[in-house]
C-alpha cells in the first residue's frame, strides 16, 4: 500500500492508501465523533455523526466510509458540520427515552456523551416516539428497542464477525427496528448469546440481564483476566464491584479473541461467587487419618466423628494424599489400573505435563482428552 | 428458429421479417389493439374478445396484433383498423358494445365514423385516407419526437421479427461489427446523452469509468424499478418495446466489457416482466444473447431480478444490494458502482430509457442525437402526464420545450377549464413550479435552476382545487414511508418534517413551523445518505418557496384557500352568479342549502359539514371557499 497526502483541518497529512478519512484521522489521533462506527466492525455510514466537509462536494460525507485521495481537502469541525451533527443528535434524542438517571448505560453511552458534547438537552421536536415493550424472554440479554438508535453495530457484529446473522433490521423508515431471527425473540432465533451485540451497542438498548442495576461504570473496578472456560485463552475485562463480578467487557487487545467471546465467557461467571463453589482443597477424614476406606453403611458426613467427613486442608496435604494413594494403587494393581482424562479447559502446556505424568511417572498409556470425545 | 451465426444470417432474417410485414400491410386486414397496462385496465381484453366475436360473426378474416401503449392513456382502449395497403385508423375509448358498430361501418359499409376516430397513422409508404388527420397533425403528437418510445404502440412487443423489421438490433449490429468498444463509448459520449433516471449524469462517461475499472467480471444493470407515484415511462417501454432495452444493454455490455447483465424490474409490473421474459427468450433463441453473439466473439447473458416493492431500491446501491439478496438499502458512495458495484465488481447502472435511447444513437449516430434538444441536454425527454390535465398519457418531447407547451399544447390544458396552479416534476423527490414558471425550458439544468428537478419523467399537474401544503404533505408521506431507515436524517427527519406539515394542515401550525420546515429540510439535504433522503424535502421546499402565502394562510388565519384541509374553510354561495338551479341543494347531504327555484341559494353554516359536494356540482362557480371568520359569527358559531 502506498501513501496518500491530503489536507485535514488545514494540516498536511499522510495516510495509507485505502484508508477512510476516519481511519487516517484515528491513526494521527485526530478526534472525529462517531456513533455507528466501531473500530472492530466494517463501516456503515448510517448515523451521520462523523460527517465531514470535503472541498468540492456539495453534501457532507461520512468520514467512516469516505476513502482518502491525493490532494483532497477535508474539514472535520466547522460550524456547518457541528450544526449538522447536532441536528442528527436532536433527531436521535427526539425518539429516545430521556431516562438517563436510571439507565444502566449512563456513563457508558455514546449517545449521552455526544449529547453532552453537542449540548442537546431536550427533545425539541416533541413528535411521535416509539414505545416498544421490553420483554424479550431470553435468559441473557435485555432488549430495549426504545433506546435503540439503529446504528446496526449489533447487526454487523452478528453477521460480519460471528456469521450467525441472528440480528437484522425489520421494516422501513421510522418504523424500522432491530429484530431477531424471523422477527421473533432472541431465544427463537439462531442467536448463540455470545453477547457481541451487547458489547458493541453504544447505548443501553442491549444490556446483560444479570448486570442490570449492578453498578455504574465509575463504581466498578476493571480487571483484565483470562477466561477460565477453555484453552483458547480469551482475554476478558471483568467489572468488579464489592469483590463480585457484575459484568464482562471485551478486552479488544486480547491476542487470541480480539475482544469477542462466546456465551460462557460473556455471561457464565455467576459460579465465581456461588455458595457451593469450593475455595479450598478438602479431603475425607479417613484419608487424613491414614485409615482404610470405611464401609458404606457409616456414610454420614454431618457427624463429627464420621470417617467420611470433609476436612479442609492445605494444598500440600491434599496433593500429598492423592499422590500417596495413586502410588499405592499402581504398586498394588499395576499402572494399567489407572487412566487419565485431561481437559480442554487446560492449556497445551498443562496437557503436555499430564501426558508426562501418565506415561512416565505412572507408566500407563491410558490417557485421553475430552476434546477427542 | 435457428441461432444466427453471422451478420449475413441476421440481414437475411431482417429482410424476411420486413417482407412479412409488408405482405401483411399490403394484403391483409389488420386490427391493432393497445395492450399496454393502461389499455388492459381500460378494458382492452374485453374489446379484443368483442373484436374476435364480431369478425367471426361476419366471416371477416383479419390479423389481430397487440401493441404496447402509444401514449394516449386517456383515450384507451384503442383500436386501430388497417385495411390492406391503407393507413392505421385509430378509434378511441372503445367499448365492447361499440366494436360491432365500428366493424360494420368501417369494414362492411366502408364509412368512417368521425365521432369515434382519433386520427390516422400513415402506412409504411405514407399512404393516408383523405379527410382524416394524421397523428402528426394532431396537437398531442405534433410536437413529439419519439426515440425511446419509437416503437411503443407501433409494433407487437412480443414479436422479435417486428422489432427486426423496424430496424431493430441494427445498433447492436453496427457496434459489434463496425466499432470497437472504445468507439461505442466515444459515440455515446459525443451524443451528449445524459442519464434518463433523473440525475442526468453523462451516460458515455459512466460507461467509460466502468470500462476503465480494473476488475472482472463487470456487470450491466438496467434500473427498471420505476416507483414514482404517477410515473409510467419505463413501464411503457418495457411493455411496448422490450427489445429496445435489451439491445441497449447488450451494446453497453459490449462497450464496457461485461459478460452479464441484470434487469431490475419491480414486481408490480407483471405484464412488463412477462414481455421482458419473452423478449429475452427470443433474443437467446436467435443468438442476440448468450455465447458468441452473431458470431462476433462477444458473449452476454441477461437475467431479470424482480424487485419486492421498495421505492428506495431505485437508488443504484440499494438496487445492487437487493440483487445480491441483501436488504435493499443504499450504502455511501464512493466507491461508485463503476468501481465497486454488484458483488463488489465494476457495474454500470442505467435507466430503461437511457438504454433504449442508446440503441437508437448507435443506429442514427451521435450527430443526429445531439442536434435534438438543447446543447447541454440533448435529445428528448419522456413525460408521464397525469393529474388535472385533459390528455393524460405519455409524451416524448425534445428537450428545451417549455412546460406551457407540454401542458397546454400536448396535454390539452386543465380539466373543466379550471385554473392551473402548479406542476410537479421529478416525482415525490422533485418539486413543483407555479404558473409564472410555465415558460421554463424543460431540460436538466433549467428545471433545477427554476426550483424543480427533471427526475425520471413524472409530470403531475394540479389546479386551483389543490392545497399546496396538502400536496407537499402527500409526497412527503410517500417519501418518508419509503425511507429505508438506515440514516438518521432521513429516518427521523422525514418523520419530523411530516409531523410539522400534518400540524399545519390540521390548523395547529405556527409561523415558527415554517422556519422549522426550512431547518429540517436543510439538514436532511446536507446529511442524508442517499438521494432519497436528500431530496425528500424537495416538494415541501418548492411549495413553500412558490406558495408561501398558502402556508401563511394556514398558520396565521387557519385558512386553507383551496378548501381542502378539513375545518379550515367554509363555503358560501355568491348570489350574483347563482342561478338557483338547485343542484347544490340536491347534492348537499345535510340539507344545509336552501333557496327558492331560480333564486340565489344560501348555506346554513350550522348544518354545513364542508364536504364540498355543492362546490363540485356548481356549474357557475357560485360556491366560494371562504375564511370562517369572514362569515357572520352567528353562522359559524361553533
Class of domain B469-556 (CATH, top level): mainly alpha
Per-residue pLDDT reduced to its tens digit, B216-243 = 999 999 999 999 988 999 999 999 999 9
Per-residue pLDDT reduced to its tens digit, A126-176 = 899 999 999 899 999 999 999 999 999 999 999 999 999 999 999 999 999
For residue B77, cis peptide bond before it (omega within 30 degrees of 0): yes
Distance set, CA A59 to CA A197, B333, B450, B528 (Å): 32, 12, 20, 8
The architecture that CATH gives domain B570-636 is 2-Layer Sandwich (3.30)
How far is the C-alpha of B76 from the C-alpha of A174, rounded, in Å? 40
Nearest to B546 by CA among B631, B428, B396, B423: B423
Substitution target from B496, B498, B525 for chain A, most A beta carbons within 10 A:
B496
Average confidence (pLDDT) over A29-43: 95
Residues of B with CB under 8 A from a CB of A: 310, 312, 327, 329, 331-332, 334-335, 480-496, 499, 519-520, 523, 525-529, 534
Determine, for residues A128 and B499 on separate chains, whether the beta-carbon distance falls below 8 Å: yes
Closest-CA distance, B497 to chain A, in angstroms, reads 10
Average confidence (pLDDT) over B335-343: 96
Per the rule left: phi > 0, alpha: psi between -120 and 50, beta: everything else, B263 is beta
Cell of B630: 369572514
Determine, for residues B485 and A171 on separate chains, whether the beta-carbon distance falls below 8 Å: yes
**Concatenated DSSP letters of A193-253:** ---HHHHH-SSSSEEEGGGTTS--GGGSEEEEEE-SSSTT--EEEEEEETTEEEEEEE-TT
**Concatenated DSSP letters of B547-571:** -HHHHHHHHHS---TTS-STTS-EE
What's the gap between Cα A171 and its chain centre?
29
**Which chain B residues contact residue A127 at CB under 8 A?**
495-496, 499
> pLDDT value at position B143?
94
Distance set, CA B171 to CA A373, B12, B174 (Å): 68, 16, 5
What are the residue ranges spanned by the domains of chain B?
Answer: 21-142, 168-369, 380-466, 469-556, 570-636
Query: Which one of B480, B499, B528 has the shortest CB-CB distance to A173?
Result: B480
Per-residue pLDDT reduced to its tens digit, B274-333 = 999 999 999 999 999 999 999 999 999 999 999 998 999 999 999 999 999 999 999 999
How far is the C-alpha of B568 from the C-alpha of A305, rounded, in Å? 96
- Binning chain A into helix, strand and coil, the percentages to the nearest 5 are 30, 20, 50
Q: Please tell me which residue of chain B has the smallest CA distance to A18.
A: B335
Taking the CA atoms of chain B, what radius of gyration do you get in angstroms? Answer: 27
The pair phi, psi for residue A64, each rounded to 5°, is -75, -20
Nearest to B405 by CA among B138, B139, B135, B147: B139
Class of domain A3-77 (CATH, top level): alpha beta
With contact defined as beta carbons under 8 Å apart, do B386 and B394 qualify?
Answer: no
Judged by DSSP in three states, B527 sits in: helix
CATH code reported for the domain at B168-369: 3.40.50.11540
At residue B634 the predicted structure's pLDDT band, cuts being 50, 70 and 90, is low
Judged by DSSP in three states, B220 sits in: strand
How far is the C-alpha of B218 from the C-alpha of B189, rounded, in Å? 20
Determine, for residues B487 and A47 on separate chains, whether the beta-carbon distance falls below 8 Å: yes
Per-residue pLDDT reduced to its tens digit, A290-325 = 888 887 655 565 666 788 888 999 999 999 999 999
Nearest to B276 by CA among B72, B457, B13, B68: B68
Q: What is the pTM of this model?
A: 0.91
What are the residue ranges spanned by the domains of chain A?
Answer: 3-77, 214-265, 278-330, 334-373
Q: Please tell me which residue of chain A has the smallest CA distance to B519.
A: A87
pLDDT > 50? residue B638: no
How far is the C-alpha of A59 from the C-alpha of B534, rounded, in Å? 9
**Separation of first and last alpha carbons in chain B:** 78
Class of domain B21-142 (CATH, top level): alpha beta
Report the percent of chain B where pLDDT is more than 90. 91
> pLDDT value at position B567?
87
How far is the C-alpha of B101 from the C-alpha of B120, rounded, in Å? 19
Closest-CA distance, B524 to chain A, in angstroms, reads 9
Which are the contacts of A121, defined by CB distance < 8 A and separation ≥ 6?
A115
Determine, for residues A175 and B487 on separate chains, whether the beta-carbon distance falls below 8 Å: no
Helix axis angle, A79-94 to A110-117, nearest 10°: 130
Which are the contacts of A248, defined by CB distance < 8 A and separation ≥ 6?
A195, A208, A236, A237, A238, A239, A261, A265, A266, A267, A269
How far is the C-alpha of A145 from the C-alpha of A168, rounded, in Å? 13
Nearest to B237 by CA among B32, B71, B121: B71
CATH code reported for the domain at B380-466: 3.10.20.600
Which are the contacts of B357, defined by CB distance < 8 A and separation ≥ 6?
B147, B148, B193, B196, B248, B369, B379, B380
**Concatenated DSSP letters of B51-116:** HHHHHHHTT---EEEEE---S-GGG-S-EEEE-TTSPEEEE-S--HHHHHHHHIIIIII----TTT
Cell of A140: 441473557
Substitution target from B315, B523, B525 for chain A, most A beta carbons within 10 A:
B523
ipTM for the predicted complex comes to 0.91
Q: Where are the alpha helices (DSSP H) in B482-530?
A: 488, 494-505, 511-527
> pLDDT value at position B223?
97
For residue B335, cis peptide bond before it (omega within 30 degrees of 0): yes
Average confidence (pLDDT) over A10-31: 93
Per-residue pLDDT reduced to its tens digit, B379-415 = 999 999 999 999 999 999 999 999 999 999 999 999 9
The count of CB pairs under 8 A between chains A and B is: 106
Cell of A352: 503436555
**Which chain A residues contact residue B312 at CB under 8 A?**
172
Nearest to B280 by CA among B259, B302, B299: B302
**Does domain A214-265 bear CATH number 2.20.25.90?**
yes
Amino acid at each position: 500500500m502506498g501513501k496518500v497526502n491530503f489536507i485535514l483541518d488545514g494540516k498536511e497529512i499522510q495516510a495509507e492508501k485505502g484508508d477512510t478519512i476516519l481511519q487516517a484521522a484515528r491513526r494521527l489521533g485526530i478526534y472525529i465523533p462517531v456513533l455507528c462506527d466501531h473500530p472492530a466492525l466494517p463501516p456503515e455510514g448510517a448515523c451521520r455523526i462523523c460527517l465531514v466537509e470535503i472541498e468540492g462536494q456539495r453534501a457532507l460525507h461520512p468520514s467512516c466510509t469516505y476513502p482518502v485521495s491525493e490532494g483532497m481537502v477535508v474539514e472535520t469541525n466547522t460550524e456547518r458540520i457541528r450544526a449538522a451533527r447536532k441536528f442528527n443528535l436532536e433527531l436521535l434524542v427526539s425518539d429516545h427515552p430521556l431516562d438517563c438517571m436510571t439507565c444502566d448505560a449512563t456513563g457508558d453511552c455514546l449517545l449521552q456523551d455526544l449529547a453532552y458534547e453537542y449540548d442537546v438537552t431536550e427533545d425539541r421536536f416533541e413528535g411521535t416516539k416509539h414505545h416498544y415493550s421490553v420483554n424479550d424472554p431470553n435468559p441473557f440479554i435485555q432488549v430495549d428497542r426504545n433506546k435503540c438508535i439503529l446504528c446496526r453495530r449489533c447487526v454487523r457484529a452478528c453477521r460480519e464477525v460471528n456469521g450467525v446473522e441472528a440480528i437484522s433490521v425489520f421494516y422501513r423508515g421510522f418504523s424500522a427496528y432491530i429484530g431477531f431471527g424471523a422477527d421473533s425473540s432472541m431465544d427463537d432465533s439462531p442467536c448463540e448469546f455470545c453477547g457481541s451485540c451487547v458489547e458493541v451497542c453504544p447505548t443501553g438498548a442491549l444490556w446483560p440481564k444479570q448486570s442490570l442495576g449492578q453498578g455504574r461504570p465509575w463504581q466498578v473496578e476493571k480487571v483484565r483476566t483470562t477466561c477460565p472456560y477453555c484453552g483458547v485463552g480469551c482475554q476478558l475485562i471483568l467489572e468488579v464491584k464489592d469483590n463480585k463480578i457484575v459484568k464482562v467487557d471485551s478486552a479488544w487487545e486480547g491476542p487470541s479473541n480480539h475482544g469477542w467471546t462466546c456465551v460462557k465467557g460473556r455471561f457464565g461467571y455467576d459460579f465465581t461467587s456461588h455458595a457451593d463453589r469450593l475455595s479450598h482443597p478438602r479431603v475425607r477424614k479417613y484419608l487424613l487419618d491414614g485409615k482404610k476406606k470405611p464401609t458404606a453403611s457409616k456414610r454420614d458426613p454431618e457427624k463429627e466423628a464420621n470417617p467420611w467427613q470433609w476436612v479442609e486442608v492445605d494444598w500440600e496435604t491434599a496433593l500429598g494424599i492423592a499422590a500417596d494413594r495413586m502410588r499405592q494403587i499402581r504398586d498394588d494393581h499395576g499402572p494399567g489400573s489407572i487412566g487419565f482424562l485431561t481437559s480442554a479447559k487446560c492449556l497445551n502446556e498443562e496437557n503436555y505435563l499430564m501426558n508426562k505424568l501418565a506415561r512416565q511417572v505412572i507408566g500407563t498409556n491410558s490417557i485421553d482428552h475430552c476434546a477427542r470425545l | 428458429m435457428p441461432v444466427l451465426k453471422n451478420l449475413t444470417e441476421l440481414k437475411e432474417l431482417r429482410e424476411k421479417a420486413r417482407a412479412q410485414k409488408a405482405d401483411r400491410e399490403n394484403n391483409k386486414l389488420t386490427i391493432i389493439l393497445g395492450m399496454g397496462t393502461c389499455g388492459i385496465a381500460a378494458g382492452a381484453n374485453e374489446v379484443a374478445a368483442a373484436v374476435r366475436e364480431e369478425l367471426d360473426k361476419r366471416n371477416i378474416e383479419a390479423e389481430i396484433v397487440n401493441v404496447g401503449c402509444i401514449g394516449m392513456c386517456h383515450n384507451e382502449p384503442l383500436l386501430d383498423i388497417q385495411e390492406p395497403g391503407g393507413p392505421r385508423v385509430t378509434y378511441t375509448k372503445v367499448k365492447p358494445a361499440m366494436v360491432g358498430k365500428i366493424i360494420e361501418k368501417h369494414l362492411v359499409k366502408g364509412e368512417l365514423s368521425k365521432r369515434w376516430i382519433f386520427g390516422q397513422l400513415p402506412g409504411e409508404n405514407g399512404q393516408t385516407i383523405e379527410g382524416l388527420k394524421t397523428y402528426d397533425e394532431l396537437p398531442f403528437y405534433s410536437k413529439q419526437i419519439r426515440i425511446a418510445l419509437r416503437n411503443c404502440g407501433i409494433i407487437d412487443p412480443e414479436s422479435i421479427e417486428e422489432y427486426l423489421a423496424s430496424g431493430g438490433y441494427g445498433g447492436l449490429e453496427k457496434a459489434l461489427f463496425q466499432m470497437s468498444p472504445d468507439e461505442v463509448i466515444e459515440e455515446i459520449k459525443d451524443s451528449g446523452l445524459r442519464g434518463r433516471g433523473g440525475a442526468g449524469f453523462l451516460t458515455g462517461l459512466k460507461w467509460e469509468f466502468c470500462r476503465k475499472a480494473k476488475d472482472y467480471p463487470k456487470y450491466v444493470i438496467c434500473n427498471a424499478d420505476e416507483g414514482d407515484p404517477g410515473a409510467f415511462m419505463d413501464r411503457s417501454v418495457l411493455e411496448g418495446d422490450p427489445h429496445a432495452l435489451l439491445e441497449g444493454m447488450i451494446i453497453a455490455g459490449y462497450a464496457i466489457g461485461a459478460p452479464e447483465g441484470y434487469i431490475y424490474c419491480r414486481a408490480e409490473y407483471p405484464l412488463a416482466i412477462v414481455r421482458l421474459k419473452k423478449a429475452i427468450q427470443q433474443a437467446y433463441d436467435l443468438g442476440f444473447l448468450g455465447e458468441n453473439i452473431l458470431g462476433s466473439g462477444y458473449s452476454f447473458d441477461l437475467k431479470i431480478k424482480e424487485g419486492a416493492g421498495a421505492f428506495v431500491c431505485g437508488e443504484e446501491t440499494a438496487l445492487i444490494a437487493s440483487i445480491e439478496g441483501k436488504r435493499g438499502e443504499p450504502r455511501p458512495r464512493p466507491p461508485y458502482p463503476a468501481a465497486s458495484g454488484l458483488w463488489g465488481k465494476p457495474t454500470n447502472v442505467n435507466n430503461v430509457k437511457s438504454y433504449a435511447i442508446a440503441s437508437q444513437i448507435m443506429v442514427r449516430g451521435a450527430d443526429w442525437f445531439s442536434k435534438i434538444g438543447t446543447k447541454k441536454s440533448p435529445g428528448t425527454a419522456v413525460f408521464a402526464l397525469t393529474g388535472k390535465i385533459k390528455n393524460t398519457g405519455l409524451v416524448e418531447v425534445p428537450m428545451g420545450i417549455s412546460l406551457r407547451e407540454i401542458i397546454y399544447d400536448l396535454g390539452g390544458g386543465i380539466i373543466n377549464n379550471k385554473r392551473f396552479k402548479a406542476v410537479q416534476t421529478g416525482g415525490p423527490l422533485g418539486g413543483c413550479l407555479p404558473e409564472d414558471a410555465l415558460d421554463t425550458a424543460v431540460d436538466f439544468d433549467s428545471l433545477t435552476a427554476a426550483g424543480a428537478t427533471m427526475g425520471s419523467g413524472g409530470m403531475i399537474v394540479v389546479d386551483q382545487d389543490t392545497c399546496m401544503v396538502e400536496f407537499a404533505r402527500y409526497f412527503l408521506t410517500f417519501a418518508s414511508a419509503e425511507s429505508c431507515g438506515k440514516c438518521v436524517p432521513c429516518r427521523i427527519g422525514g418523520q419530523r418534517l411530516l409531523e410539522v406539515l400534518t400540524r399545519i394542515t390540521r390548523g395547529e401550525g405556527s409561523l415558527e413551523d415554517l422556519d422549522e420546515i426550512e431547518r429540517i429540510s436543510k439538514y436532511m439535504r446536507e446529511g442524508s445518505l442517499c438521494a432519497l433522503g436528500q431530496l425528500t424535502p424537495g416538494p415541501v421546499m418548492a411549495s413553500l418557496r412558490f406558495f408561501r402565502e398558502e402556508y401563511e394562510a394556514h398558520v396565521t388565519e387557519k385558512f386553507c384557500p383551496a378548501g381542502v384541509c378539513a375545518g379550515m374553510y367554509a363555503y358560501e354561495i355568491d348570489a350574483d352568479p347563482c342561478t338557483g338551479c338547485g343542484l347544490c341543494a340536491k347534492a348537499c347531504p345535510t340539507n344545509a342549502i336552501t333557496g327558492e327555484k331560480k333564486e340565489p341559494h344560501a348555506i346554513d353554516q350550522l348544518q354545513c359539514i364542508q364536504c364540498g359536494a355543492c362546490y363540485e356540482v356548481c356549474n357557475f362557480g357560485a360556491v366560494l371557499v371562504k375564511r370562517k371568520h369572514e362569515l357572520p359569527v352567528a353562522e359559524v358559531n361553533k
